[in-house]
Structure 1
Amino acid sequence: MRIYELGEGTPEVAVVGSVHGDEPCGERAIERFVAGEPSVERPVKLVVANEEALDAGVRYLDEDLNRAFPGDPKAESHEGRLAHDLVRELRGKTVLSLHSTQSYAEPFALVDEVDAVSRAICPHLPMEYLVETGPFSTGRLIDHAHTIEVECGLQGSEEAATNAYWILRAFLSATGVLPAPVEGDVEPPLSLHRRDENEVTVFRLLDQIPKNPAEEYRIFVDNFQRVAPGDTVAAADGDAYSADDEFYPVLLSAHGYEDVFGYAADRLGTLA
């Protein structure tokens, strides 16, 4: 675990990158930000979490770190011990955790539940979707620290690393670590601007979409777009899965997870 602290005093804000070793965008965003020697108005802690998995180029060494929280200092697994240490470093802080995914190219955020902090911060982040994970947050950092988790783009892509940097800056502006952007500042890529600059659409996870073992998987619907009853959602070796009820897919992909295609969600409304 690599830690940077900027500013004077005890940080109440933190950024975490590369909880998963095959998601380098968070580390790259943090290193780019620190290399710029920024002047901060509040202290901030920045953490590159799973350095060993990053060096090995794998998601994790022993177990998924983002399913291992709150961890145990005496755990047999590397990630079990690391989870305990990371929770200790983040206790009492408002946290941004930077991730990437195989399912969706544009950034979106996840929280345990929408509360006053996420209502205040998320409309200032350059993304249009926010997902409540609810019962599916068990073992994740968002269940054990006050965390906004952001999927910054496609895993391993340059776009995800660029997105992560601008999301980091937007989060630090929203939390008072950086000053608010002024006219003439460098603008983030246009792809990071929401279609509606005033609203973030909120979803809540309802259920997992199971996936049977197969040689070939296919997806027929788009994430965050309404699926009607009877629509064909996915197929495993030609065996199709159809929707029984209306839902909105989240984190749906052919190969992102071993035993599920992704999640079915409900659309709750918007944050302004």
Structure 2
Amino acid sequence: MFDQEIAPDVVELGPGDADLAVVCNMHGDEPTGARAIRRVLTSSPEFERGVKFIVANPPASISHRRFLDVDMNRVFPGDPEADERERRLAAQLVAETAGCDTISFHTTHATPEPIAFVSEGNPRSLEIVSQIPTSYVVNEASVVDGSFSSTGRVVSIEAGKVGQPNSVAKAEMLIRAFLDNERAISEKPPMHAPVTNYFEIYDKVEKPSGDGSYELLARNFERVEKGEAYAKSKSGVLLADEPFVPVLMSQSGYGEIFGYRGRKIGESVEDAKEAWLDGET
């Protein structure tokens, strides 16, 4: 058990009780979201609704480490009495964002383009994500356990590649679009979502053990056909045993997997609702 009391850092701005939240630094080695929030707040916007800006994992952020005890984005809804710091922080973050439309920022090794993740069963999350300018929305519920997106009206966003300066600019743009669409600030001109493609992941793409020389051939969100090579190494090539759409695939992002197998659901929020909500609106 650790001794110090810990909690997410929360700044609340705007009139009334906050019902919007912007979350960053769930992983302590991903400062993009925090830097984007700083850019937004430095411009001194006039808030018309209450908004919470939350640093989710302060101790890992101070240490510049992904996590200290366990991966926070795999232990939701958390446990306020747990020994692991991230489990306690996860429970506190769920309580802090209860009743809030929420976006949370990460970065990835896979693609420079922002990707939004939701969990099926929450129509409000789909409404939120349909109004922000990102080209890819992915339902992660069937494969990823314990993610923040599973806790409620939450959209988790990979803003771009780790360490790339333009990832901060993209995250800032997405924060401003979210706040503008929710009428928390007024941006001119208004920002509109591009054509958005909806996907779901259904399996992991494992890396063969004992061979660290693999080069990834597949490109994220470009369909791999059955029999097509998606990676190669000195030992040979890996061929797809079925068609799939690569999602979050990279050579170095994960230890034991390349990423995930996905399938395209459609090109509208209505397509996604039909697939994930049984037509519920």
Taking only aligned residues, the RMSD between alpha carbons, in angstroms, comes to 1.9
Inter-partner Cα distance in structure 2 for 1:115 and 1:82: 23
How far 1:129 moved relative to its partner?
0.9
Inter-partner Cα distance in structure 2 for 1:134 and 1:89: 22
Task: Show the 5 A alignment for 1:84-103.
Answer: 84-103=91-110
Partner in structure 1 of residue 132 of structure 2? 125
* Match status 1:107 vs 2:114: yes
SS of 1:135's equivalent in the other structure is coil
User: Is the 8 Å Cα contact of residues 15 and 48 (structure 2) preserved in structure 1?
Assistant: no
Partner in structure 1 of residue 4 of structure 2? none
User: Is the 8 Å Cα contact of residues 122 and 153 (structure 2) preserved in structure 1?
Assistant: no
Inter-partner Cα distance in structure 2 for 1:261 and 1:215: 12
Inter-partner Cα distance in structure 1 for 2:118 and 2:207: 25
Structure 2: stretches of 5+ with no match in the other structure: 1-7, 270-281
SS of 2:143's equivalent in the other structure is helix
Change beyond 3 A, Cα 1:72–1:118: closer
Using the aligned pairs only, state the percent identity. 35
Partner in structure 2 of residue 222 of structure 1? 219
Partner in structure 2 of residue 11 of structure 1? 18
Match of 1:233 among 227, 230, 243: 230
SS of 1:28's equivalent in the other structure is helix
Inter-partner Cα distance in structure 1 for 2:174 and 2:256: 30
Inter-partner Cα distance in structure 1 for 2:144 and 2:205: 16
SS of 1:98's equivalent in the other structure is strand
User: Is the 8 Å Cα contact of residues 118 and 126 (structure 2) preserved in structure 1?
Assistant: no
Q: 1:178-235 deviations in whole A, cap 9, x for unaligned? A: 22x334x8x9xxxxx97xx3x2100011111111333322100100001111011123
Partner in structure 1 of residue 188 of structure 2? 182
Structure 1: stretches of 5+ with no match in the other structure: 188-192
User: Is the 8 Å Cα contact of residues 137 and 143 (structure 1) preserved in structure 2?
Assistant: no
Change beyond 3 A, Cα 1:229–1:141: same
* Match status 1:252 vs 2:231: no
Amino acid at match of 1:219: L
* Match status 1:261 vs 2:258: yes
Partner in structure 2 of residue 152 of structure 1? 159
User: Is the 8 Å Cα contact of residues 202 and 269 (structure 1) preserved in structure 2?
Assistant: yes
Change beyond 3 A, Cα 1:151–1:9: same
User: Is the 8 Å Cα contact of residues 114 and 132 (structure 1) preserved in structure 2?
Assistant: no
SS of 2:129's equivalent in the other structure is helix
* Match status 1:78 vs 2:74: no
How far 1:126 moved relative to its partner?
2.1
User: Is the 8 Å Cα contact of residues 21 and 54 (structure 1) preserved in structure 2?
Assistant: yes
Match of 1:207 among 187, 203, 208: 203
Change beyond 3 A, Cα 1:112–1:236: farther
**Runs of 4 or more consecutive aligned structure 1 residues displaced over 6 Å after TM superposition:** none
Task: Show the 5 A alignment for 1:42-57.
Answer: 42-57=49-64
User: Is the 8 Å Cα contact of residues 201 and 261 (structure 2) preserved in structure 1?
Assistant: yes
SS of 1:176's equivalent in the other structure is coil
Q: 1:48-68 deviations in whole A, cap 9, x for unaligned? A: 111221221211111101011
